[in-house]
């Protein structure tokens, strides 16, 4: 798959997820995005952490909505009014609205995260348009340094501990932080020097990696962009609208064409080889 | 045409009153030129003049002239000189720009604007010449140190430089890696590339060098004989294990990550002697040292350490330096020592050859001086047990001698040393016992044959 096609797909999924507060569409986008993520994630990447983060973000969004919005007709329980801000009725409507918010957040995170989980960050950087190529090289180099900084932080902490360092006060932490930062700066300087020595900064730059664009990439990009375009158009003309469960929860309306747009985001599952 | 000519070239780093290079007059004209000199003598600085990193990257003040391949270094940027001058740095970890091998080799070619079709063949040719043709598609972070240094060399060879400059390229490599890197370099030289190489592991360089230059405190005297400290480092052995020494032991120790132990069921002990752990990378030497240090809890078994301080010299020890002066770096260790070590700072500065740089900022020192500062900071105050992980990696001859002395003194004072190393010379010089670590198991080798001093 081409990173640019994936970028287009990710952009389209984000657009649809954020274009409406209707939970049906959001759930469909989440479903497609999750599918793409699970099927196409790079070998060796773990998505447990990501899913956990999404779950936490969802629960937090749900809790905030439930605890602070006291509108809606069907009251589940009452929090005593004596408790400031939280006091008041907790309603079915607020729970539904909280869940809707959580769905939107989850769909948006998954659609965005697919970028870094399906392709290497470096492939993405390479896919940047030509004018950004130099910043891209710098960014890629910075990415290369990150694991080294983590390793050196552990090494330095161990070394100082063996020299008798014991963190008792905040004032003790610079004994670790200072050498970690200094070492990182020195590493960056060395790397900068070696890049300079290899001619970095010349004006007439050519490119080594040309990612191939296959018909499947056209299909994915076409489906995704068409889906997003049509969905936004439906939103603008009012066929798709925002949906709120207040004052009384109702079944969200579904437009067939808009639902098809959401399903079209599953195009990578059919077009790209697994 | 002369490859390079320096005429009365002097250079001061920004803010320094002492010249790093002092009226250097040299002419380089093909072949392999070895540049030798003590740590801090200006080797790295001279090398950086060849491609203009000095003064363009580092700033500072220049007097005199330097001409490389017909280009005045002062009026040409590094990126222009890079077209003809390749530069290989010391640290294999800090030269890769991209995440995959072939992509990274292409970085220089991209910068020079080489068309893509030519690029592909040049990348693969360079990988083959560096002996890593089979690694083309690999992720850089899966390579060993030796492979990474060859990758960096491939990146330089791909540019087809007329002058190849190497700044201590072997210091992080084991013996096998050093030999094969030098082989590639001499093949390049035989194909017409001029090579200038600074390296303290001269045993790998001298057999291939056509000419040798010596630098001392920024001065190069083409006619000077080699300074005495460049001869192979003297081997002396500590033959007397002190009685009543600091005993340590590991009994049935399994350590590493739970479920995937790196070392299993190890029994080892010592006291007042030097135990050297040898074995291939990844065999568990560092894990054993870290377990002994208490940095890594043993999964099973018991570890006994002597009362008193346990000193630990990690790999890349210079990264622990964080104080404004070398003196305060050593004071810091003494101040934090749990048993109130009463070592004298001045004695330590003297023992580690740091008296001249005591009041300087450790990170401004040359690599060798920094290593000695780190050694001093770790070993000061006579620890009961000293654990050293690859202590001679990247070390020059004077620093090695100081290390050997420090180890002997430590043992004479009743301390114990456990050390992991690839360095056979060092092992022979100091070991009372050599322990082979392989695939997480240890095998105690027969006692080292006494070596004539």
Q: How confident is the model at residue A45 (pLDDT cuts 50, 70, 90)?
A: confident
Lowest mean pLDDT among A73-87, A114-128, A224-238, B429-443: A114-128
Nearest to A199 among B79, B140, B317 (CB): B79
More confident residue, A232 or A125: A232
Which residues of B fall within a CB distance of 8 Å from A138? none
Do residues B88 and B152 make contact, with C-beta atoms less than 8 angstroms apart?
Answer: yes
User: Could you tell me if B373 lies within 8 Å of chain A, comparing CB atoms?
Assistant: no
pLDDT at B447 over 70: no
Contact A140 B97 (CB under 8 A): yes
How far apart CA B89 and CA B390 sit, in angstroms, is 20
pLDDT of residue B338: 64
Q: How confident is the model at residue B452 (pLDDT cuts 50, 70, 90)?
A: very low
How far apart CA A40 and CA A268 sit, in angstroms, is 9
Lowest mean pLDDT among A186-200, B187-201, B298-312, B392-406: B392-406
pLDDT of residue B226: 58
Which A-chain residues 111-130 have CB contacts (< 8 A) with chain B? 120, 122
Average pLDDT estimate for B372-387: 92
Which A-chain residues 127-146 have CB contacts (< 8 A) with chain B? 137, 140-141, 143-144
How far apart CA A141 and CA A199 sit, in angstroms, is 15
pLDDT of residue B279: 84
CA dist list (Å): A260 to A219, A227, A255: 16, 8, 9
- Over residues B421-445, the pLDDT tens digits come to 988 888 988 999 999 988 888 887 6
- Contacting residues for A148 by C-beta, under 8 A, at least 6 apart: A184, A187, B93
Do residues B39 and B192 make contact, with C-beta atoms less than 8 angstroms apart?
Answer: no
Test mutation, A163, A173, A185, A192, chain B, max B CBs within 10 A: A163
Contact B320 A202 (CB under 8 A): no
Provide the 10 A C-beta neighbour count for residue A132: 12
Question: What region does B382 belong to: left with phi over 0, alpha with psi -120 to 50, or beta?
Answer: left
CA end-to-end span of chain B, whole Å? Answer: 49
Sign of the CA dihedral B54, B55, B56, B59? Answer: positive
pLDDT of residue B325: 95
Sign of the CA dihedral B80, B81, B85, B88? Answer: negative
Provide the 10 A C-beta neighbour count for residue A254: 13
Element (H, E) at B173: none
pLDDT at B231 over 70: no
Q: How confident is the model at residue B397 (pLDDT cuts 50, 70, 90)?
A: confident
Q: How confident is the model at residue B232 (pLDDT cuts 50, 70, 90)?
A: very low
Which of A268, A220, A237, A224 is closest to A17 using CA atoms?
Answer: A224
Test mutation, B98, B106, B286, chain A, max A CBs within 10 A: B98
Cα angle at B420 between B414 and B425, to 5 degrees? 90
Contact B79 A140 (CB under 8 A): no
How far apart CA B60 and CA B42 sit, in angstroms, is 14
Contact A202 B111 (CB under 8 A): yes
pTM: 0.78
- In the DSSP assignment, the letter for residue B354 is -
pLDDT at B450 over 60: no
User: Could you tell me if B332 lies within 8 Å of chain A, comparing CB atoms?
Assistant: yes
Which residues of B fall within a CB distance of 8 Å from A159? 312, 314, 317, 319-320, 378
How far apart CA A113 and CA A119 sit, in angstroms, is 10
pLDDT of residue B225: 60
Element (H, E) at B367: helix B367-379
How far apart CA A48 and CA B285 sit, in angstroms, is 33
- Contacting residues for B322 by C-beta, under 8 A, at least 6 apart: A174, A175, A178, A179, A182, B329
Q: How confident is the model at residue A151 (pLDDT cuts 50, 70, 90)?
A: confident
How far is C-alpha A193 from the chain's CA centre? 34
Average pLDDT estimate for A160-187: 91
Across chain B, mean pLDDT equals 88
Sign of the CA dihedral A182, A183, A188, A192? Answer: positive
Which residues of B fall within a CB distance of 8 Å from A140? 97-99
Do residues B295 and A125 make contact, with C-beta atoms less than 8 angstroms apart?
Answer: no
Which of A51, A56, A57, A36 is closest to A105 using CA atoms?
Answer: A57
pLDDT at A177 over 50: yes
How far is C-alpha B325 from the chain's CA centre? 22
Do residues A110 and A26 make contact, with C-beta atoms less than 8 angstroms apart?
Answer: no
Average pLDDT estimate for A201-222: 85
pLDDT of residue B424: 84
pLDDT of residue B435: 92
- Contacting residues for B306 by C-beta, under 8 A, at least 6 apart: B246, B247, B248, B271, B384, B385, B416
Average pLDDT estimate for B231-258: 67
CA dist list (Å): B406 to B219, B286, B353, B428, B431: 31, 21, 11, 16, 13
Average pLDDT estimate for A173-178: 92
pLDDT at A217 over 60: yes
Do residues B163 and B68 make contact, with C-beta atoms less than 8 angstroms apart?
Answer: yes
Cα angle at A233 between A230 and A236, to 5 degrees? 155
Find residue B250's DSSP bridge partners.
B268, B303
How far apart CA B156 and CA A197 sit, in angstroms, is 9
Average pLDDT estimate for B296-311: 91
Do residues B427 and B421 make contact, with C-beta atoms less than 8 angstroms apart?
Answer: yes
ipTM: 0.86
Determine phi and psi for B2, rounding to 5 degrees. Answer: -65, 140
Contact A198 B155 (CB under 8 A): yes
Which B-chain residues 78-97 have CB contacts (< 8 A) with chain A? 78-79, 82-83, 85-87, 89, 91, 93-97
Which residues of B fall within a CB distance of 8 Å from A194? 87, 89, 94-95, 152
pLDDT of residue B40: 83
- Over residues B312-371, the pLDDT tens digits come to 999 888 899 999 999 999 999 998 876 655 568 899 999 999 999 999 999 988 888 899
pLDDT of residue B330: 93
Residues B181/B183/B185/B189 CA torsion (nearest 10 deg): 180
How far apart CA B116 and CA B110 sit, in angstroms, is 8
- Over residues B128-137, the pLDDT tens digits come to 999 999 999 8
Q: How confident is the model at residue B190 (pLDDT cuts 50, 70, 90)?
A: very high
Give the minimum alpha-carbon distance from B58 to chain A in angstroms, rounded to a whole number: 9
Do residues B435 and B276 make contact, with C-beta atoms less than 8 angstroms apart?
Answer: yes
H helical segments located in chain A: 3-19, 23-40, 48-68, 92-118, 121-126, 133-162, 174-197, 215-237, 256-264, 267-271
């Amino acid at each position: 798959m081409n990173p640019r096609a994936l970028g287009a797909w990710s952009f389209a999924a984000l657009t649809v997820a954020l274009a409406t507060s209707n939970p049906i569409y959001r759930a469909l986008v989440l479903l497609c995005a999750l599918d793409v993520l699970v099927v196409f994630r790079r070998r060796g990447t773990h998505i447990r952490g990501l899913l956990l983060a999404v779950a936490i973000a969802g629960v937090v969004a749900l809790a905030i909505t439930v605890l602070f919005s006291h509108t809606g007709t069907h009251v589940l329980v009452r929090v005593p009014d004596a408790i400031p801000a939280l006091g008041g009725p907790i309603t079915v409507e607020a729970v539904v609205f909280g869940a809707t918010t959580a769905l939107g957040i989850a769909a948006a995170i998954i659609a965005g995260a697919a970028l870094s989980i399906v392709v290497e960050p470096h492939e993405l950087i390479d896919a940047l348009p030509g004018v950004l190529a130099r910043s891209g090289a710098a960014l890629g180099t910075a990415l290369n340094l990150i694991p080294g900084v983590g390793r050196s932080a552990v090494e330095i902490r161990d070394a100082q501990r063996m020299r008798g360092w014991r963190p008792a006060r905040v004032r003790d932490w610079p004994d670790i932080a200072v050498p970690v930062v200094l070492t990182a700066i020195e590493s960056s300087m060395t790397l900068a020097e070696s890049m300079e020595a290899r001619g970095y900064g010349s004006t007439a730059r050519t490119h080594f990696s040309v990612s191939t664009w296959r018909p499947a990439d056209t299909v994915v990009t076409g489906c995704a962009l068409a889906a997003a375009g049509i969905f936004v158009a439906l939103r603008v003309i009012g066929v798709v609208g925002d949906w709120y469960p207040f004052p009384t929860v109702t079944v969200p309306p579904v437009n067939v064409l808009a639902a098809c747009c959401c399903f079209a985001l599953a195009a990578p599952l059919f077009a790209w080889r697994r | 045409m002369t490859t390079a000519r320096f005429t009365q070239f002097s250079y001061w780093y920004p803010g320094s009153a002492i010249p790093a290079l002092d009226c250097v007059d040299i002419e380089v004209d093909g072949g392999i030129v070895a540049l030798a000199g003590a740590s801090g003598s200006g080797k790295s600085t001279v090398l950086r003049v060849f491609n203009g990193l000095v003064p363009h990257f580092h700033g500072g003040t220049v007097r005199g002239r330097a001409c490389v391949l017909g280009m005045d270094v002062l009026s040409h940027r590094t990126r222009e000189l890079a077209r003809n001058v390749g530069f290989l740095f010391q640290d294999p970890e800090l030269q890769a720009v991209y995440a995959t091998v072939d992509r990274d080799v292409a970085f220089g070619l991209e910068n020079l604007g080489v068309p893509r079709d030519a690029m592909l063949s040049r990348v693969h040719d360079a990988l083959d010449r560096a002996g890593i043709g089979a690694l083309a598609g690999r992720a850089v972070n899966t390579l060993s140190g030796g492979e990474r240094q060859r990758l960096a060399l491939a990146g330089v060879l791909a540019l087809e430089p007329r002058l190849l400059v190497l700044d201590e390229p072997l210091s992080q490599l084991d013996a096998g890696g050093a030999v094969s890197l030098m082989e590639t370099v001499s093949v390049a030289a035989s194909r017409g590339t001029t090579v200038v190489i600074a390296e303290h592991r001269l045993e790998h360089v001298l057999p291939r060098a056509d000419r040798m230059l010596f630098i001392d405190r920024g001065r190069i005297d083409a006619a000077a004989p080699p300074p005495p400290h460049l001869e192979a480092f003297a081997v002396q052995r500590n033959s007397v294990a002190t009685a009543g020494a600091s005993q340590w032991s590991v009994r049935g120790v399994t350590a590493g990550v739970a479920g995937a132990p790196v070392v299993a069921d190890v029994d080892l002990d010592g006291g007042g002697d030097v135990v050297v752990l040898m074995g291939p990378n990844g065999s568990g030497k560092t894990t054993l040292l870290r377990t002994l240090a208490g940095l890594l809890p043993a999964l099973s078994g018991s570890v006994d350490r002597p009362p008193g301080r346990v000193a630990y010299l990690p790999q890349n020890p210079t990264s622990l330096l964080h104080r404004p002066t070398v003196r305060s770096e050593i004071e810091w260790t003494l101040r934090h020592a749990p048993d109130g070590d009463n070592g004298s700072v001045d004695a330590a500065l003297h023992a580690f050859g740091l008296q001249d740089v005591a009041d300087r900022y450790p990170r401004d020192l040359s690599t060798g001086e920094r290593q000695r500062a780190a050694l001093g900071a770790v070993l000061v105050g006579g620890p009961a047990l000293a654990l050293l992980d690859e202590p001679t990696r990247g070390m020059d001859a004077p620093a090695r001698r100081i290390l050997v002395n420090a180890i002997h003194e430590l043992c004479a004072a009743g301390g114990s040393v456990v050390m992991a190393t690839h360095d056979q010379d060092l092992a022979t010089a100091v070991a009372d016992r050599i322990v082979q670590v392989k695939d997480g198991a240890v095998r105690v080798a027969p006692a080292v044959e006494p070596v004539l001093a």
